[in-house]
């Protein structure tokens, strides 16, 4: 946006959003179609995994076939859960609050009763009047009134004191309104234990029955709250149906319980099924979105290979998904997620493989109903495989990482089995399946990588090892037609691979790229100095301009030859860029010496410039190796001077601008070149004559 231009609040107008979207869609039509097709295939597969059939049956119907669970499923039995909660509610005791005022009131009533009797016994009235008043206190019980008349005031006080003690004990224990009869019985039992006479005990019982009152008051709100809390402690009753379990047998009458199970399995469709469908679509979209973001950031993907890389991704996912569906029927411990990890790492990179492995694992957990601990174990073990593959390269790395991943998964399986208290036999079988999974997919991965890297002309580790074999037909042809160039290429490869390893670049790629960088020279081998050992220099008879043309054309010839032999594009890049846009200086200056008008640009290679660390290293190694042939002995200072000069010239000429090589990288590369040159061109001590004769 220009400095004086005002910001537009309409982002769509400002960025031309719809046009950009249309352009992106148009330019990536094939990858988009591939990904949409993959999404549709996975969604359909998952849909039929969840909803294998749509039976129109209801409770009371007779089953026309055996119905087997298509997956392990758990559901909550609402009726059984509610029944257990009601039982728990019934076990809750009512909550009562203690009313201390009732205790004082009951004791006061005892005192009032006995004080009235004592008052009657102490007055001067006649026996008949006293008897009448006492009988009135005792609700007309004449017999009991007669026994009271015979009591002394002192004895009545003893009865009063004893009954108050009994009442106090009862009140301390608590008297509920619905348990008052039990409290009275307890009081009578205590009275009968006393030493008083029968009539005296009868009087105490009468007073107890007429003065006792509950002091435990029912708390309705607290009780209802306690009942609700008790209900909450009851966990929902979960019914688990195992995959392969027969739900209904042919000829059985369908029950309500079976209908519940069939609905939970998706065999009978319900209005709630749309939630599952939305979940399936969401999981697939999330998986593909994460994969898209990871692949887009991958260093292996660029505008020129989008279709190829998308196709590789789709093939890998489809193969692993289909294998997972098949192997899961044998054991979930055989789900080949590590195969996806190995293949994505091989054809993309570490971070892409890590992201897609995790995302795909969660997708499979939904699709195949895999348990979380199992998925966790597979993912962790697959990450172990990923780090091992990152650390080393080679065909045996796949086998080694598969074995170590298998050991890791077996160990995690052991721990999981012990924690879930599985039978030892089952744990051992799961461990065997787990190890077989990782080791087996490493073998499958080698086969798939070999097929895919040849089909898509990819530059995988296996392909690099194949191309790096010096018995490769193209390298053997180079050896036969241009032996000097072949030896030069081998020396450049040693320089480049050592330097690449020094700065953490791909040493194997740099080595193989160096092997092939000059294959174009075998089209006209004797035009190049290294192949002119036994013949005169042809260029002595040619004009500088013609010589320049032949020399420059070895790049185009090499690219054309590489395409004919279907070398991967990454190797072709080394051929096309190893001279960048440098000047064929010898013939440029020769032309000027001959007095001809020479334009420097006419003597430059057409490019392109090297655009990776590896291609940049090979450019430098090529120039260094060619220049050091003029040094007669292993001279460290001379090597250092030449290396520094070449690197400086390439930097100043802008030849390394697109390689991302840092100043530190260049320092390390120069040091590596010097060490390698000394080892390649070291002088050998001459043996004494007598020793030479002795060894002949």
pLDDT digits 0-9 by tens, 353-398: 999 999 999 999 888 878 889 999 999 999 999 999 887 666 788 8
Higher pLDDT, 25 or 97: 97
pLDDT digits (tens, 9 = 90+) for 75-134: 677 778 888 888 888 888 888 888 888 888 889 999 998 998 888 888 888 888 888 888
Lowest-confidence region among 348-352, 631-635, 671-675: 631-635
| pLDDT given for residue 153 in this prediction | 87
CB 497, CB 514: distance < 8 Å? yes
The pLDDT, as a whole number, for residue 633 is 63
Read off the pLDDT of residues 642-692 as tens digits, 9 standing for 90 and up. Answer: 999 999 999 999 999 999 899 999 999 999 999 998 887 755 454 444 443
Mean pLDDT, range 228-240, rounded to an integer:
82
Both tokens of residue 97?
């609050």
What is d(CA 630, CA 366) in angstroms, rounded to the nearest whole number?
68
Among 45-59, 156-170, 509-523, 599-613, where is mean pLDDT lowest?
Answer: 45-59
Checking 373-379 for CB contacts under 8 A at 24+ apart, the result is 373/416, 373/420, 374/332, 374/333, 374/416, 376/412, 377/409, 377/412, 377/413, 377/416, 377/434, 378/335, 378/337, 378/338, 378/409, 379/337
Which pLDDT does position 1 carry in this prediction? 34
| Of the listed ranges 54-63, 353-362, 368-377, 570-579, the one predicted with least confidence | 54-63
Q: Please tell me the predicted confidence (pLDDT) of residue 660.
A: 87
Residue given tokens 């995690």 in the structure block? 412
pLDDT tens digit sequence for 248-290: 788 778 777 777 777 776 777 777 777 778 888 999 999 999 9
Task: Give the model's pLDDT for residue 433.
Answer: 95
Q: May I ask the CATH architecture of the domain 468-680? A: Orthogonal Bundle (1.10)
DSSP letter for each residue of 181-206: HHHHHHHHHHHHTSSS-HHHHHHHHH
**431 closest CA partner among 416, 419, 442, 445:** 416
Average pLDDT along the chain: 84
The candidate with the shortest Cα–Cα distance to 208, out of 144, 131, 114, is 114
Question: Is there a contact between 149 and 130 (Cβ–Cβ < 8 Å)?
Answer: yes
Average pLDDT estimate for 429-450: 94
Does residue 350 register a pLDDT over 60? yes
- Label residue 71 by pLDDT band (50, 70, 90): low
pLDDT at residue number 21: 63
Is residue 156's pLDDT more than 80? yes
CA angle (174 as vertex; 170, 177 as ends), nearest 5: 105
Mean pLDDT over residues 543-556, rounded? 84
pLDDT, residue 512, reads 95
User: What pLDDT, on a 0 to 100 scale, did the predictor assign at position 127?
Assistant: 84
Q: Taking residues 623-631, what's their average pLDDT? A: 83
Tokens of 185: 């019985």
Rounded Cα distance, 170 and 163, in Å: 11
Among 432-441, 512-521, 534-543, the minimum mean pLDDT is found in: 534-543
Task: pLDDT band for 560, please (50, 70, 90 cuts).
Answer: very high
Chain centre distance of CA 523? 53
What's the pLDDT score for residue 634? 66
> Cβ contacts of residue 306 below 8 Å, gap of 6+?
28, 31
**pLDDT score, position 408:** 95
Residue 430 is predicted with a pLDDT of: 93
- How many whole angstroms separate alpha carbon 650 and alpha carbon 620? 8
What pLDDT shows up at residue 4? 39
Whether pLDDT at 600 is above 80? no
pLDDT at residue 534 greater than cutoff 80: no
Among 136, 278, 143, 247, residue whose Cα is nearest residue 203: 143
Q: Collapse the DSSP code of 582 into the 3-class scheme (helix H, G, I; strand E, B; otherwise coil) and give the result.
A: coil
Position 3 scores a pLDDT of: 38
Predicted pLDDT at 525: 87
Q: Which residues make Cβ contacts (< 8 Å) with residue 403, sequence separation at least 6? A: 438, 439, 442
For residue 401, pLDDT beyond 60? yes
With 50 as the cut, is the pLDDT of residue 9 above it? no
**614-619 average pLDDT score:** 95
């Amino acid at each position: 946006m220009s400095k004086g231009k005002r910001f537009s609040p309409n982002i769509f107008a400002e960025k031309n959003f719809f046009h950009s979207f249309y352009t992106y869609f148009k330019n990536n039509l094939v990858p988009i179609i591939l990904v949409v097709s993959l999404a549709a295939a996975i969604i359909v597969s998952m849909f039929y995994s969840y909803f294998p059939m749509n039976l129109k049956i209801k409770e009371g119907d007779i089953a026309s076939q055996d119905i087997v669970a298509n997956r392990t499923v758990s559901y909550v039995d609402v009726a059984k859960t509610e029944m257990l909660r009601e039982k728990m509610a019934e076990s809750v005791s009512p909550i009562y609050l203690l009313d201390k005022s009732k205790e004082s009131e009951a004791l006061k009533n005892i005192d009032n009763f006995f004080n009235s009797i004592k008052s009657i016994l102490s007055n001067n009235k006649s026996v008949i009047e006293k008897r009448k008043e006492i009988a009135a206190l005792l609700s007309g019980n004449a017999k009991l009134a007669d026994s009271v008349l015979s009591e002394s005031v002192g004895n009545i006080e003893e009865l009063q004191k004893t009954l108050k003690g009994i009442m106090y004990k009862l009140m301390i224990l608590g008297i509920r309104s619905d348990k008052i009869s039990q409290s009275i019985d307890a009081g009578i039992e205590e009275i009968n234990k006393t030493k008083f006479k029968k009539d005296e005990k009868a009087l105490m019982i009468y007073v107890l029955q007429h003065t006792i009152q509950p002091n435990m008051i029912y708390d309705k709100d607290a009780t209802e709250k306690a009942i609700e809390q008790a209900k909450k402690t009851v966990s929902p009753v979960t019914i688990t149906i195992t995959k392969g379990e027969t739900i209904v047998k042919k000829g059985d009458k369908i029950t309500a319980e079976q209908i519940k199970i069939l609905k939970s399995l998706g065999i009978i469709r319900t209005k709630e099924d749309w939630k599952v469908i939305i979940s399936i679509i969401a999981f697939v979209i999330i998986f593909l979105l994460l994969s898209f973001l990871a692949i887009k950031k991958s260093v292996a993907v660029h505008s020129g290979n989008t279709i190829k890389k998308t196709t590789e991704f789709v093939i890998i996912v489809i193969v692993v998904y289909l294998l997972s569906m098949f192997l899961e029927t044998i054991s979930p411990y055989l789900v080949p997620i590590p195969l996806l990890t190995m293949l994505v790492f091989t054809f993309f990179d570490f971070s892409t493989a890590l992201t897609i492995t995790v995302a795909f694992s969660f997708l499979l957990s939904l699709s195949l109903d895999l348990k979380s601990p199992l998925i966790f174990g597979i993912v962790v073990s697959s990450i172990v495989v990923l780090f091992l593959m990152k650390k080393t390269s080679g065909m045996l790395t796949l086998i080694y990482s598969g074995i170590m991943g298998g050991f890791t998964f077996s160990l995690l399986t052991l721990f999981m089995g012990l924690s879930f208290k599985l039978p030892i036999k089952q744990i051992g079988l799961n461990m065997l399946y787990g190890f077989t999974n990782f080791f087996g997919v490493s073998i499958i991965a080698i086969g798939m990588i070999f097929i895919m890297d040849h089909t898509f002309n990819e530059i995988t580790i296996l392909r690099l090892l194949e191309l790096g074999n010096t018995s490769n037909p193209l390298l053997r042809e180079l050896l036969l037609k241009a032996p000097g160039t072949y030896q030069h290429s081998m020396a450049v490869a040693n320089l480049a691979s050592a330097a690449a390893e020094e700065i953490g670049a791909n040493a194997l790629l740099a080595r193989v790229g160096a092997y092939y960088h000059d294959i174009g020279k075998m089209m006209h081998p004797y035009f190049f100095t290294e192949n002119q050992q036994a013949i005169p220099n042809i260029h002595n008879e040619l004009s500088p301009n013609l010589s320049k043309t032949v020399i420059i054309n070895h790049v185009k010839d090499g690219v054309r030859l590489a395409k004919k032999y279907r070398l991967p594009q990454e190797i072709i890049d080394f051929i096309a860029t190893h001279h960048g846009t440098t000047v064929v200086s010898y013939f440029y200056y020769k032309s000027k010496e001959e007095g001809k008008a020479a334009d420097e640009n006419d003597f430059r290679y057409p490019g392109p410039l090297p655009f990776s660390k590896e291609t940049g290293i090979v450019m430098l190694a090529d120039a260094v190796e060619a220049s050091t042939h003029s040094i007669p002995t292993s001279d460290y200072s001379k090597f250092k001077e030449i290396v520094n000069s070449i690197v400086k010239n390439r930097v100043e000429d802008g030849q390394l601008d697109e390689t991302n090589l840092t100043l530190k990288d260049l320092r390390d590369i120069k040091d590596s070149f010097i060490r390698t040159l000394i080892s390649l061109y070291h002088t050998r001590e001459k043996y004494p004559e007598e020793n030479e004769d002795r060894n002949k």
